[in-house]
Structure 1
Amino acid sequence: MPNKPTADRLSKSSQSAVFWLVRYLDRMIDTRLGRLLAAMGGVVLEGPRACGKTSTGLQHANSSLRLDSSPSAVELAELDPVGLLQGATPRLIDEWQLSPTLWNVIRHEIDSRGLSGQFILSGSAAPPDDIRRHSGAGRFGRIRMRTMSLSESQRSSAEVSLHELNDHDHLSGVRSPLGYRDLAAEAVRGGWPALVHSSVADAVEFNASYCNDITSTDLRLATGVRHDPVRVRRLLASLARNVATEANVANLTADVAADGRSIDRDTVRTYLDALASIFIFEEQPAWSVSLRSRSRLRSRPKLHLSDPALACAALQLSPQRLANDPEYFGQVFESMVIRDLHAYLDTAGGHIFHYRDDTGLEIDAILEFVEGEWAAVEVKLGTRHIPEAEANLLKLRDERVDTDRVGRPRFLAIITGTEYGYTLPSGVHIIPIGALTA
């Protein structure tokens, strides 16, 4: 027989890229995935469909099984689960949620072997809760994978490292290769690995098809429930209009019911939960922190789709239409920045929040690092609002946060869609999104 490549023969070497016909672009979570495999029996790699989980898993695996390859694979997983787990380790079990009973079998196999780095479980949907399924504590590490950041897709000059940035640094000579309309094109394209080398026109078709699949197929396959596709599409459009805002379920419900057909909040909440289960919808929680003032914190989360391109696709926006609407582009740009910050923070397991108090002070992103440090970031597409953003950041640090308890911020920064990066006399950094990396 000809010696042709198969999934089981793919390894960590770059030769596996030949099989996929596209060179693998390193992902920010590669390092963290390697660390978790060295420490845990298995790693769960989860995220939206087509964000690159399988390709990344194959870079770290020495054998693999794809449960979505055929119906017989799922049936065999039910009949002979232990047999399917045999293979060179780490062994990738792709789309494991198609056979949720594998979870406990894999957990027992990890206990039996007593070794780290045995399995990578990748999935584009979270299976329904089952009281019979063990939490996996002590056996599995968990990584949320997202679409590609501008640095990962090699659009960013990667001159400014988020993890190396401090308040005493002075930025100069930083320059982004992306102009205003370039950023609009990247927002519409999105961070899907399959589109890195595609035209924007092809990306528009891809994202439109992706949205159609969400409403017609993905939710039903993931949840087993047939949701009203028209209502789900209207909800996607409402989420798109409200991306990077604190819109609540009541606002979304009113938006979905704008066609004159009644719908209750519980139904909309069910739809949101279903979208979250396939990693399409995500909430950016409010920061809980000790304050030195009498201000009270607001707790409503901000809303995001898994990639800003889905917001553009749900509203049928081209790069030109997006660029011609700077107010809405500002919302999409903020969501794109949050996507990229997630990618850069996830390398070490950090978290992203937002800040709002009852005085009206708002900060777009609060970054918490695993070392216990924090940083504050404002997001501004252009330069007009930079002075206001600078004042907000300084007010947060000097008047709101009890720095005796939580420490001074590692840095304060304004991430922009502008060309140049520099440091203001106040110490606040101006960083173009097209110059940022982990």
Structure 2
Amino acid sequence: MVTYRGRVVDTELDELLPSLAAVAIEGAKGVGKTATAQRRADSVYALDNAQQRELLAADPGRIDRSTGTVLIDEWQRYPAVWDQVRRSVDRDPQAARFLLTGSAIPTETPTHSGAGRIVQVRMRPMALVERGICEPTVSLRELLTGRRKPLEGESAIELPEYVEEITGSGFPGIRPLPARARRAQLDGYLARIVERDFAEQGHPVRRPATLRAWLTAYAAATATSASYNTILDAATSGETDKPAKTTTITYRDVLSQLWLLDPVPGWLPVDNAFARLALAPKHFLADPALSARLLDLTSDTLLSGTTPGVRVSSGTSMLGQLFEALVALCLHVYARDNEAHLQHLRTRNGDHELDFIITGPGGRIVAIETKLAATVDEQDLTHLRWLKSKVGDLLADAVVITTGRYAYRRPDGIAVVPAALLGP
């Protein structure tokens, strides 16, 4: 029997369920939604099972008669159940009645959004803190307070281990496997997207190779704000018969419905002195291991710096982009736990960029730069200092996330934190 490893989202569910009648946990296939929900459920309807779908369709009142917490797994397979749950909550709003899990936005939209009845919670692949590789000593929650306390902590995780975390995956069912088996599972995951998931979303793929090439180009654009036209051009370089723009928009939309794209939007402060901010999102797939697999990058090739056939963006190495993707996954998870939002900053002329901006309750921000190195130099701090000059006390903290060993606060107040030592 596989031992359940606690997830950051467990805290959110523990806080929500005692007060709410219905919660929907949503995210890409394989992130662990069912395992997390089953621990809280007294009964389960698995709607990827045709017989159980037929059971609810034949007797919609069955869920009303259930006692305890009812888990409706893969609810998008029978979208009518969403409205059944909503109506049941209208009749009886007692807390912790329903948990729903979904790995896709259904093509047959429910008649009601569920607003006010069903609260939606996003679950992602495992962040570093959930993988148990190191005990975190720095809390995002504390950084958001603006108290700027001294930091401490030592991590045994170095660059080779971070590369293993990039290629090893945050999907809990894939992560424990030996390296070759992991690669085979990731290949199968990607093949299912192309061959089955698009069709299940109502968009059969007529040219699978083109979709695969677009996904690969998107992976190569990891941590950049490249335009979708640029991604299309990279995917179809040398081809005269390119897919229509509407086709690639469909790719993006369906992958979003499957929770496989996890972009970081541009920062748009409500009240600030900025005149020109670029709002294009930075591109990330749900798990950096998917990007590495699409680009045929292993731990060895990433560490050796050999990335044959990969077009490197803006002179940065692909390893740097994938490390930023690993950090983005962690920050998404930690920000949600703090009811905060993850964004990035880039001015339109590109003279100032910050990898991540986390906006907490009340509007105060933590600005974050990532660096694929163990040490920090003055050049790494330029944009953090520029932002401080622009927003003043709105900046709760400024952080450089590294692959180093030690967490500390510099004399100028800027925090230096190894990725493995940061937690929610």
Q: Compute the TM-score of the two structures, normalised by the length of structure 2.
A: 0.92
1:11 alignment counterpart: none
Q: Does 1:396 align with 2:380?
A: no
Structure 1 residue corresponding to 2:217, chosen from 232, 238, 241: 238
Q: Does 1:354 align with 2:344?
A: yes
Structure 1 residues 291 and 41: CA distance shift in structure 2, 3 A: closer
Give 1:117-156 correspondences, 5 Å limit: 117-128=96-107, 130=109, 133-156=111-134
Q: Does 1:408 align with 2:373?
A: no
CA deviation profile, 1:333-370 (whole Å, cap 9, x unmatched): 00110100111122133210000113520011110123
Structure 1, unpaired ranges of 5+ = 1-20
Please report how far the alpha carbon of residue 292 of structure 1 lies from its aligned counterpart in structure 2 after TM superposition. Answer: 5.5
Q: Does 1:374 align with 2:365?
A: yes
Please report how far the alpha carbon of residue 384 of structure 1 lies from its aligned counterpart in structure 2 after TM superposition. Answer: 6.4
What is the CA–CA distance in structure 2 between the aligned matches of 1:231 and 1:84, rounded to whole Å? 43
What is the CA–CA distance in structure 2 between the aligned matches of 1:150 and 1:118, rounded to whole Å? 32
1:10 alignment counterpart: none
User: Is the Cα–Cα contact under 8 Å of residues 380 and 386 in structure 1 kept in the other structure?
Assistant: no
User: Is the Cα–Cα contact under 8 Å of residues 127 and 223 in structure 1 kept in the other structure?
Assistant: no
Please report how far the alpha carbon of residue 304 of structure 1 lies from its aligned counterpart in structure 2 after TM superposition. Answer: 0.6
Structure 2, unpaired ranges of 5+ = 306-315
What is the CA–CA distance in structure 1 between the aligned matches of 2:341 and 2:357, rounded to whole Å? 8
Alignment: residue pair count: 410
Give 1:167-246 correspondences, 5 Å limit: 167-172=147-152, 174-223=153-202, 225-226=204-205, 228-246=207-225
CA deviation profile, 1:89-113 (whole Å, cap 9, x unmatched): 2211000000001111110001111
Please report how far the alpha carbon of residue 76 of structure 1 lies from its aligned counterpart in structure 2 after TM superposition. Answer: 2.3
Please report how far the alpha carbon of residue 273 of structure 1 lies from its aligned counterpart in structure 2 after TM superposition. Answer: 0.5
1:426 alignment counterpart: 412
Q: Which amino acid counterpart does residue 310 of structure 1 have in structure 2?
A: L
User: Is the Cα–Cα contact under 8 Å of residues 354 and 367 in structure 2 kept in the other structure?
Assistant: yes
What is the CA–CA distance in structure 2 between the aligned matches of 1:67 and 1:32, rounded to whole Å? 25
1:324 alignment counterpart: 304
Structure 2 residue corresponding to 1:112, chosen from 91, 101, 117: 91
Give 1:209-358 correspondences, 5 Å limit: 209-223=188-202, 225-226=204-205, 228-258=207-237, 260=239, 261-289=241-269, 293=273, 295-325=275-305, 327-358=317-348
Structure 1 residue corresponding to 2:54, chosen from 71, 75, 92: 75
CA deviation profile, 1:74-130 (whole Å, cap 9, x unmatched): 222322222145433221100000000111111000111121211111011011263
The Cα RMSD (Å) is 1.9
SS in structure 2 at match of 1:142: strand
User: Is the Cα–Cα contact under 8 Å of residues 48 and 279 in structure 1 kept in the other structure?
Assistant: yes
Of residues 183-192 and 250-259 in structure 1, the stretch that sits farther from structure 2 once superposed is 250-259
What is the CA–CA distance in structure 2 between the aligned matches of 1:315 and 1:385, rounded to whole Å? 29
SS in structure 1 at match of 2:395: coil
What is the CA–CA distance in structure 1 between the aligned matches of 2:273 and 2:15, rounded to whole Å? 41
What is the CA–CA distance in structure 1 between the aligned matches of 2:272 and 2:89, rounded to whole Å? 48
What is the CA–CA distance in structure 1 between the aligned matches of 2:348 and 2:14, rounded to whole Å? 43
Of residues 157-166 and 360-369 in structure 1, the stretch that sits farther from structure 2 once superposed is 157-166
2:311 alignment counterpart: none
1:92 alignment counterpart: 71
Structure 1 residues 292 and 54: CA distance shift in structure 2, 3 A: closer
Percent identity between the aligned chains? 29
